[in-house]
Amino acid sequence: MAGFLDGRTAVITGSTSGLGLGYARALAAEGCAIMLNGFGEAAEIEATRAGLENEFGVAAYYNGADMRDPAQVTAMIEDGMAKLGKVDILINNAGMQHRAPTEEFPPEIWDDMLAVNLSAPFHATRAVLPQMKARDWGRIINTASTNALVASPNIVGYTATKHAIMGMTKAVALETIRTGVTCNAICPGTVRTGLSEHRIDTYAAEKGKPKEEVLEEYLEQKEPYHQPMGRFITIEEIAAAAVYLCSDAGAAMRGAAFTVDGGWTAR
Instruction: Identify the residue with better confidence: 148 or 199.
Output: 148
The backbone torsions φ and ψ at residue 101, rounded to the nearest 5 degrees and listed phi first, read -60, 155
Would you call 218 a catalytic residue per the annotation? no
Mean pLDDT taken over the chain = 92
pLDDT at 111 over 80: yes
- How confident is the model over 31-50, as pLDDT tens digits? 999 999 999 999 999 999 99
- How confident is the model over 134-180, as pLDDT tens digits? 999 999 999 999 999 999 899 999 999 999 999 999 999 999 999 99
pLDDT at 107: 98
pLDDT at 208: 79
pLDDT at 1 over 90: no
CB 86 within 8 A of CB 133: no
Q: How many CB atoms lie within 10 A of CB 233?
A: 21
pLDDT at 191: 84
- How confident is the model over 213-231, as pLDDT tens digits? 777 677 666 555 566 787 8
Segment 66-86 shows an average pLDDT of 98
pTM, 2 dp: 0.91
Domain annotation for the chain: domains and CATH numbers: 9-189+234-260 (3.40.50.720), 192-232 (no CATH)
The backbone torsions φ and ψ at residue 61, rounded to the nearest 5 degrees and listed phi first, read -130, 175
Catalytic residue among 158, 203, 218, 225: 158
pLDDT at 211: 74
